[in-house]
Amino acid sequence: MDTKQIEYILKIADENNITKAAEKLFITQPALNQQLIKLEKELGVQLFHRSRTDWRPTEAGLIYLENAKQILLTKQNTYKMIQDLAYEQNGNLSVGFTPGRGSIMLSAVYPQFHKEYPNITVSPQELSVKTQQALISKGELDIGFQTLCKKHRTSDEYVDIASEEIMLVVSDKHPIAKLYETSKEQFPSINISYFSNDPFVLMYKQSTIRELIDDIFNNAGITPNVLFETSSNRTILTMIKANICCGFVPKYYLNLEDNSIKCFSLPDLTTWDIVASYKKDSYLSCPAKRFLEMASEFLSQNSCKNISD
C-alpha cells in the first residue's frame, strides 16, 4: 500500500511550509511541489493557501488531511494485525518515556522483552510529555509513558498505572524542619504560605509538573521567588540539600532515609498520574501489548518506592 503522496501532503500541513516540509522529507522543494500540484489537479481543488511563511489548508485541504490521517492509521493497523499472525514476529516498536524514571523502567523491562521478542526492534526515545503527545497523535510513536494530571490528557488513549504524590521538600537546616520534632506524621501537612519568601528551584515551564506547581502558588496568591529552572529532579534535590532553596519533587525520587531533607504534604493532597498512552483507534500489536504490560507492572510496583541518589 503506497501512501507516500499522503505522507508528503501531511508533512506540508505539519510544517505549514513546503520548503521546511521538503527538508524534513529529504527531497527537493520542486519535487514536493510537483507532487502537490499533481494531486490538486487530480482533485480539481487547491489544498493550501500559499504564502512565503504560512501554508494553511483550504476547506478542501482540511477534508483531505482529516481523511488522509485515517488512511495512514488504517495502513498501520493492517500491517500490525498481519504481523501478529506471523510465526516469528518482527518489526519496530517506538517507545517514549520522560527523563529519570523512564530509563530505569527501560533497563528493567527490555532484557525480558527482547528474550520474548528477539526480532522486534525497540526504538526508545526520552521525550517530554507534550512531545510524546504530539508524536502519538501523528502516529509517529507507538506507546508513551508519561506523568501528568487529568487536564493534561489529549483525546488519545490512556492506561492508568499509578498515582503519585508531589512533595514539598526543604533542607534539614530550614527553620520549618523543626515540625518533624513534634509531628507524628511521616509527612507533616504544611501550608504553602509559610514559604512565600523562600527561593525555589522549579522544573521548566513546559513540563506537566510545572503547571501543577504554578497552580499551587496561584491558588495561594503567591508569586514564587524562582532561583532558576531545570529539567532534572536530581538537580532540585542537590540544591535543596545544599540549603539553597526549596522545591517540589515527585515521591519516587526521594530517599526517605536521607536525613538532609525534610518532606511535607500539602493540605490539598497534590498528586499526578503515571500513565501509558497510545493513539486513539490504533491497533496495539501483541509485542506492543506485552511491552505495555511489563512496563506498567514495573512502574506500578516502583511508583511508591523511593530511590537513592
Rounded Cα distance, 266 and 190, in Å: 5
DSSP state of 265: B
Instruction: Report the candidate in 38, 79, 77, 46 with the shortest Cα–Cα distance to residue 64.
Output: 46
- The pLDDT, as a whole number, for residue 88 is 64
- What cell was used for 61? 485541504
Q: Divide the 309 residues of the chain into consecutive groups of 10 and give the mean pLDDT of each group.
A: 85 92 92 94 93 91 92 86 73 92 94 95 95 94 95 95 94 86 79 93 93 92 94 94 95 87 87 95 93 95 56
Which helix (H) or strand (E) segment is 142 a member of? none
Rounded Cα distance, 201 and 225, in Å: 9
What are the backbone dihedrals phi and psi of residue 143, each rounded to the nearest 5 degrees, phi first? -140, 140
Which helix (H) or strand (E) segment is 227 a member of? strand 225-230
Rounded Cα distance, 200 and 266, in Å: 16
Q: Is 166 left (phi over 0), alpha (psi -120 to 50) or beta?
A: beta
Establish whether domains 89-161+273-302 and 163-271 are of one fold. Answer: yes
- The pLDDT, as a whole number, for residue 179 is 76
- The pLDDT, as a whole number, for residue 90 is 77
CATH number attached to the domain at 4-82: 1.10.10.10
- The pLDDT, as a whole number, for residue 224 is 94
Q: 29-43 vs 4-15: helix axis angle to the nearest 10? A: 110
Cα 65 to chain center, whole Å?
25
- What cell was used for 225? 521567588
- The pLDDT, as a whole number, for residue 86 is 67
Structural domain boundaries in the chain: 4-82, 89-161+273-302, 163-271
Taking the C-alpha atoms of 133, 136, 141 and 144 in order, what is their torsion angle to the nearest 10 degrees? 50
- What cell was used for 13? 500541513
Q: Which residue has the cell 519533587?
A: 249
Q: Is 35 exposed, middle or buried (0-12, 13-18, 19+ CB in 10 A)?
A: middle
Instruction: Report the candidate in 251, 260, 262, 243 with the shortest Cα–Cα distance to residue 307.
Output: 251
Instruction: Report the candidate in 282, 274, 276 with the shortest Cα–Cα distance to residue 301.
Output: 274
DSSP state of 47: -
Select the CATH number that applies to the domain covering 89-161+273-302 from these four: 3.40.190.10, 3.20.20.70, 3.30.1360.20, 3.40.720.10: 3.40.190.10
- The pLDDT, as a whole number, for residue 308 is 39
CB 200 within 8 A of CB 227: yes
Element counts in the chain: helices (H) and strands (E): 10, 11
What pTM value is reported for the model? 0.77
The alpha-helical segments, DSSP class H, found in 44-167 are 59-85, 101-116, 129-137
Rounded Cα distance, 5 and 153, in Å: 31
Select the CATH number that applies to the domain covering 163-271 from these four: 3.40.50.360, 3.40.190.290, 3.20.20.140, 3.40.190.150: 3.40.190.290
- The pLDDT, as a whole number, for residue 1 is 53
